Homo-oligomer: A and B are copies of this chain.
């Protein structure tokens, strides 16, 4: 009614990263203690003897989750995990979260309790306090906003921007399973919609479904790096897929990279699901997202130390920027990588 419509640029033309960098372009930190603002997994604030880390993630119904197959307890758990993962990606320790929760009247108190149960379980496992928040009604879907606060020793903070030429590229766990699990859940949902008498059949897909519904932030990897005396040169968590995160590290570090297809860790169940659904498992790993594993680079001199850590794979190395980003496939062909990670401004779920 009082709207002022001038020029109009569609958000879908920009994509999530385009929007963020456009909006962030005008933002300058006024406060000297703000070491790092927008542009990494967390904001970094100087607290004298240590750095404080702050990160925020919004989870919206219909975009980030589908309540028809998402148990609320799992959703609460995941909402916390995706934030803790950002703190670990800075090599930090999460300490506290605050939660904004928008519930519509279709939810009951018991539903709210289930959500909180999941959040508190995640907090317990990571020794984090839920210290506050805001609960309100929502006219549309369920809205979950989690802000996590953590800390890191000043000499241990790891940004996206520190990768150097010839550093080794490492990844924790395995990739693509959360994406494969989502495909299975979506398939079973379709079956269920067509015939509500048929119960969802998830047998044989336990691992992939759990990776989608109940991801674990890699506290253990950050701990193992520390106890093996390794500070990565750069790090990021894998929320949007390996390719997209490699781009973030390479752009922030002004570098290129080579990764080897046969070194990318993919679970056998993911491979089986991918074959069944006629998806290339490497594409699931590169572009699927929601793995919440850690992608990091290390100096070559740290290779032996990292080799001692269970569940870390070396998948490639950092090159000069001019070499670009490429995947060396199983037949030794080099293909340029594309950052087609999930675009938050298009819709994820069907």
Contacts and interface: CB of A to CB of B under 8 A. Distances in A.
A54 interface: yes
Interface string A47-60: 11100001111101
A95 interface: yes
A105 interface: yes
Interface in A166-204: 188-189, 192, 200
A99 interface: yes
A238 interface: no
Given A102-B60, A147-B147, A200-B2, A109 B19 contact: yes
Interface string A108-135: 1110110010001000100111111111
Given A1-B68, A136-B344, A30 B127 contact: yes
Question: Chain A: interface secondary structure?
Answer: mixed
A8 interface: yes
A132 B60 contact: no
Chain A: interface size category: 35 or more
Given A58-B102, A100-B145, A31 B127 contact: yes
Interface string A133-158: 11111111101010101000000000
Per assembly, the copies of the chain total 2
B57 A134 contact: yes
Contacts of A188: 1
Given A54-B131, A138-B60, A139-B62, A96 B34 contact: yes
A215 to B, nearest CB: 17
A43 interface: yes
A57 B33 CA distance: 24
B45 A96 contact: yes
Contact of A135 (B16, B33, B124, B128): B16
Given A31-B127, A130-B37, A140-B62, A135 B19 contact: yes
A-B pairs, top 8 by smallest CB distance, nearest first, are: A140-B140, A43-B131, A145-B145, A62-B139, A58-B100, A9-B109, A43-B132, A147-B147
Interface of A: 1-4, 6-12, 14, 16, 19-20, 22-23, 26-27, 29-31, 33-34, 36-38, 42-43, 45, 47-49, 54-58, 60-64, 68-69, 71, 95-96, 98-103, 105, 107-110, 112-113, 116, 120, 124, 127-141, 143, 145, 147, 149, 188-189, 192, 200, 344-347
